[in-house]
C-alpha cells in the first residue's frame, strides 16, 4: 500500500458509468450533471441538484414542504405499516413528500417549478403529490407564471389505494384551469416516467420535453413483457422512440435543458 | 363470491328443489328442512367479503355494458371509430334515449366466449378507444346532451402497439377533456373499475357503483406482484387496497351504491338495470339545470386526497 491509497479513498473518487463501464473522475462527473462524458449516458441526479441546475443561483423558494402523507388505509406489507415506511423514507431523504414545489427564477424569468423526487417511494403519486401539484398550478395562475414540472415516477402510490388514482384526475383538473387562464405548462419527463404520472399531467404539457434516454410509457416494460410474452425491442419506450412515435415535442440533453425551457417560455409567455 | 362459495349455494338451491319436488310427490310437508337450507343460503350470501366481490365483479355471467344499453335505453345509435386510427371494439359509444331524454352513452365492453372476448380485447381499450370516447364526449357537449359512462375494464391494454399510439397521452387527454365539458357527466362502475383505464371515462359529476363492483388503482394481482413480488398475494393486496363500493363511499370517491340481488347482478339482471335506470333518471334531472357544473366537478376532485 502506498501513501496515496492509504490516505485517499480511491473508490469514492471514481465513478463507473453504468452504461459504458468507463471510469470517470467523480468531480468531473458531477460537474457534467451526472452525465457520462464518454457515452453521454444520463445517470440519476439528486433532486436538489436537479433544481440547482434549473434555477438561477439563489433564486429558489420552496413551498409547502411540510405537507406530508397519511396512512389512511392502514396499508400493511409483511407486517410493515405504510406509516412506518413513510417515517423511514422521510428520515432517509430529508423530505416529507415526493414532490418539491418551488418558486424559482430561470434565466431571469419567474417560474413555478415542481420536481418529483424518485428516491421518495419511487416518485409515486399519492395525495400529497396531487395536492402540491394542484396548489402550485393555482399559484401559477394567480401570479401569471409558467409552470415547469420535472417528473420521474413509477406511477400511483399503491399504499394510498383509490385515492392515488384520483390524483390523476385532480392534477388534470387544475391543468384545465391553466388552459383557461392561458398559463403555459411545460412537462419534462425524465427517467423513468410511467403509470399514473405519465397517464395524467406528465403527458399534458403544452410542450413536452423528454430528457435523453429516459424511459417513458404507460405500462412498465415488465408488465408489457408479461402480457405479450415476448422480449421488447431495445429502444422501446425510450425518449427518442417516443419522439419517433410523435408523443413528445423533443428530446434534450441534460446540459441543454434549462436553456431550452427558457427559450420555449420566451415564445409562450407574453 | 368465490367459486366454492357459489358452488355451495348452487348445491343448496338444488337440494331445496329436490325437497320441494318430494313434497309435491309425497304430499308431505318438509318446511323445516327447506327453511333450514334457506337460512344456510342466506348466511352464506350475507357473508360476502371483499374477495367475494372481486369474484362477482369478474363473474363470467355478469351483465356487460351492451346489455344495460339494450335494456335501459331506446333507439341506441352506435358511433364507430376515432377518425385517427380505427374502431376499438372494447369501447362502445353512441346516443340513445332514456325514457325520452337524449343521452350520450360511453362504456367498456367485455366479450363472452373465446372469440368474442378476443374481439373485445377482454374489455381493455387501446388508445383509439379513449380517443373515440373523447370524440363522442365533444360531440355530446357541442349539442348539449348529458353523458352516461359505464365502466367495466380490467385496465387499459398494456402492449407494444398501445404504447406506440400513446396510451398514456390518450388517457391523460381524456381526463383533462372531461373537466372542460359543460354537460352533466354521470358514471357508473358496473363491474371492474381497473385503474387509469377506468378513470379515462370516469371523471364525472356523479359516480355510482354497483354493490359488487370494484374500483382500484391497480388489480389485486398487479399490486401483489409489485409489492409482494408474488401474484398469489392478490387477496392480501385487495384487502389492503380497499376496493369495494362500501370502502369507496366512505372515502367519498363515489356518491352512490346500486343494490344488487343476492349472489350478484347475474342472478336478476332485470332488477339491476331497473334500479340503475331510475337512478340515472334521477341524477340527470338533478343535474340538468345546475349552473357551473364544470367548476363544481373540478372542486369535487380537488377535495379528493388525504394528507396532513
Pick from A155, A173, A76: which is nearest to A118 by CA? A155
> Span B204-233, mean pLDDT?
93
Rounded Cα distance between B300 and B306, Å, is: 14
Hey, what CATH topology would domain B60-302 get? 2-enoyl-CoA Hydratase; Chain A, domain 1 (3.90.226)
pTM of the predicted model over 0.90: yes
Q: How far is B4 from chain A (nearest CA, A)?
A: 27
The H or E element containing residue A198 is helix A195-198
Which of 3.40.50.2300, 3.30.70.20, 3.30.160.270, 3.90.226.10 would CATH assign to domain A45-268? Answer: 3.90.226.10
Could you tell me what percent of chain B has a pLDDT over 70?
99
Output Rg (C-alpha) for chain A, integer angstroms. Answer: 19
Q: Which B residues in the span 150-189 are in contact with A, Cβ-Cβ below 8 Å?
A: 156-160, 162-169, 171-173, 175-176, 179-180
Phi, psi dihedrals of residue A59, rounded to the nearest 5°: -100, 70
Chain B neighbors of A130, CB-CB under 8 A:
304-305
Quickly list DSSP for A163-197.
HHHHHHHHHHHHHHHHHHHT--EEEEEEEEE-HHH
With a cut of 80, say whether residue B8 has pLDDT above it: yes
Shortest CB distance from A203 goes to which of B169, B180, B215? B169
Question: What band does A270 get if pLDDT is binned at 50, 70 and 90?
Answer: confident
Rounded Cα distance between A177 and B131, Å, is: 22
Q: What is the pLDDT of residue A11?
A: 58
Query: What ranges do the domains of chain A cover?
Result: 1-43, 45-268
Average pLDDT value over all residues in chain A:
94
The H or E element containing residue A47 is helix A47-54
Q: What is the pLDDT of residue B276?
A: 98
Per-residue pLDDT of A112-171, as tens digits, reads 999 999 999 999 999 999 999 999 999 999 999 999 999 999 999 999 999 999 999 999
Is the CB of residue A218 less than 8 Å from the CB of residue A174?
no
Question: What band does A7 get if pLDDT is binned at 50, 70 and 90?
Answer: low
Q: Which B residues in the span 125-144 are in contact with A, Cβ-Cβ below 8 Å?
A: none
Rounded Cα distance between A235 and A78, Å, is: 36
Three-state DSSP at A155 gives: coil
Cell of A262: 427558457
Q: What is the pLDDT of residue A8?
A: 53
Please list the helix, strand and coil fractions of chain B in percent, rounded to the nearest 5, in that order.
50, 15, 30
Shortest CB distance from A162 goes to which of B196, B200, B253? B253
Cell of B121: 380485447
> Span A223-248, mean pLDDT?
92
> Span B136-143, mean pLDDT?
98
Contacts of A121 (CB under 8 A, 6+ apart): A89, A98, A157, A159
Cβ–Cβ of A72/B306 closer than 8 Å? yes
> Span A172-200, mean pLDDT?
98
> Span B94-118, mean pLDDT?
97
Average pLDDT value over all residues in chain B:
95
Could you tell me what percent of chain B has a pLDDT over 90?
83
Q: How far is B164 from chain A (nearest CA, A)?
A: 6
The H or E element containing residue B33 is helix B31-46
User: What burial letters (b/e) apply to A84-104, b meaning 16+ CB within 10 Å?
Assistant: ebbeebeeebebbbbbbbbbb
Q: What is the pLDDT of residue B279?
A: 98
Chain B neighbors of A224, CB-CB under 8 A:
158-160, 163
Q: What is the pLDDT of residue A4?
A: 55
Per-residue pLDDT of B29-44, as tens digits, reads 888 989 999 888 888 8
A39 annotated ligand-binding residue:
yes
Shortest CB distance from A165 goes to which of B168, B172, B217? B217
Query: What ranges do the domains of chain B cover?
Result: 3-47, 60-302
Rounded Cα distance between B272 and B258, Å, is: 8
Rounded Cα distance between A160 and A138, Å, is: 24
Chain B neighbors of A160, CB-CB under 8 A:
217, 306
Chain B neighbors of A200, CB-CB under 8 A:
171-172, 175, 196
Rounded Cα distance between B95 and A184, Å, is: 36
> Span B157-164, mean pLDDT?
96
Amino acid at each position: 500500500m502506498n501513501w496515496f491509497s492509504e490516505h485517499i479513498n480511491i473508490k469514492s473518487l471514481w465513478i463507473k458509468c453504468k452504461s459504458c463501464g468507463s471510469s470517470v473522475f467523480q468531480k468531473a462527473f458531477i460537474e457534467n450533471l451526472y452525465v457520462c462524458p464518454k457515452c453521454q449516458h444520463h445517470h440519476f441526479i439528486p433532486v436538489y441538484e436537479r433544481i440547482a441546475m434549473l434555477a438561477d443561483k439563489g433564486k429558489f423558494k420552496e413551498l409547502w414542504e411540510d405537507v406530508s402523507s397519511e396512512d389512511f388505509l392502514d396499508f400493511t406489507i409483511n407486517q410493515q405499516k405504510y406509516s412506518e415506511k413513510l417515517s423511514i423514507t422521510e428520515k432517509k431523504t430529508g423530505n416529507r413528500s415526493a414532490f418539491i414545489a418551488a418558486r424559482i427564477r430561470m434565466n431571469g424569468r419567474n417560474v413555478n417549478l415542481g420536481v418529483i423526487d424518485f428516491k421518495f417511494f419511487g416518485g409515486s403519486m399519492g395525495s400529497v403529490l396531487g395536492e402540491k401539484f394542484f396548489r402550485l398550478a393555482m399559484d401559477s395562475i394567480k401570479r401569471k407564471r409558467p409552470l415547469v414540472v420535472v417528473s420521474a415516477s413509477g406511477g400511483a402510490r399503491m399504499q394510498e389505494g383509490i385515492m392515488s388514482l384520483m390524483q390523476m384526475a385532480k392534477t388534470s383538473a387544475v391543468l384545465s384551469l391553466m388552459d383557461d387562464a392561458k398559463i403555459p405548462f411545460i412537462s419534462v419527463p425524465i427517467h423513468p416516467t410511467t403509470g399514473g404520472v405519465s397517464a395524467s399531467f406528465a403527458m399534458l404539457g403544452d410542450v413536452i420535453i423528454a430528457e435523453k434516454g429516459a424511459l417513458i410509457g404507460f405500462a412498465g416494460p415488465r408488465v408489457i413483457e408479461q402480457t405479450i410474452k415476448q422480449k421488447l425491442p431495445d429502444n422501446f419506450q425510450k425518449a427518442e422512440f417516443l419522439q419517433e412515435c410523435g408523443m413528445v415535442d423533443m428530446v434534450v440533453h441534460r446540459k441543454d435543458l434549462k436553456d431550452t425551457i427558457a427559450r420555449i417560455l420566451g415564445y409562450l409567455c407574453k | 363470491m368465490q367459486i366454492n362459495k357459489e358452488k355451495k349455494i348452487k348445491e343448496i338451491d338444488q337440494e331445496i328443489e329436490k325437497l320441494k319436488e318430494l313434497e309435491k310427490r309425497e304430499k308431505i310437508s318438509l318446511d323445516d328442512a327447506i327453511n333450514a337450507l334457506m337460512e344456510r343460503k342466506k348466511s352464506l350470501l350475507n357473508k360476502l367479503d371483499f374477495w367475494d366481490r372481486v369474484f362477482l365483479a369478474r363473474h363470467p355471467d355478469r351483465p356487460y355494458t351492451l346489455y344495460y344499453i339494450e335494456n335501459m335505453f331506446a333507439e341506441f345509435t352506435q358511433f364507430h371509430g376515432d377518425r385517427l386510427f380505427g374502431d376499438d371494439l372494447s369501447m362502445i359509444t353512441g346516443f340513445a334515449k332514456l325514457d325520452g331524454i337524449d343521452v350520450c352513452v360511453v362504456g367498456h365492453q367485455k366479450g363472452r366466449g373465446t372469440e368474442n372476448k378476443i374481439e373485445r380485447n377482454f374489455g381493455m381499450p387501446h388508445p383509439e378507444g379513449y380517443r373515440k370516447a373523447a370524440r363522442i364526449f365533444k360531440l355530446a357537449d357541442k349539442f348539449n346532451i348529458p353523458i352516461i359512462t359505464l365502466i367495466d375494464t380490467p385496465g387499459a391494454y398494456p402492449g407494444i402497439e398501445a404504447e406506440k399510439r400513446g396510451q398514456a397521452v390518450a388517457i391523460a387527454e381524456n381526463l383533462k377533456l372531461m373537466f372542460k365539458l359543460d354537460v352533466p357527466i354521470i358514471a357508473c362502475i358496473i363491474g371492474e373499475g381497473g385503474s387509469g383505464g377506468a378513470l379515462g371515462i370516469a371523471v364525472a359529476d356523479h359516480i355510482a357503483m354497483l354493490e359488487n363492483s370494484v374500483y382500484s388503482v391497480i388489480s389485486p394481482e398487479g399490486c401483489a406482484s409489485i409489492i409482494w413480488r408474488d401474484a398469489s398475494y392478490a387477496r392480501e393486496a385487495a384487502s389492503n387496497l380497499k376496493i369495494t363500493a362500501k370502502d369507496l363511499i366512505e372515502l367519498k370517491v363515489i356518491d352512490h351504491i346500486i343494490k344488487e340481488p343476492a349472489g350478484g347482478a347475474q342472478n336478476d339482471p332485470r332488477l339491476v338495470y331497473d334500479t340503475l335506470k331510475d337512478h340515472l333518471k334521477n341524477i340527470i334531472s338533478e343535474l340538468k339545470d345546475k349552473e357551473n357544473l364544470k367548476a363544481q366537478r373540478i372542486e369535487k376532485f380537488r377535495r379528493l386526497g388525504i394528507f396532513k
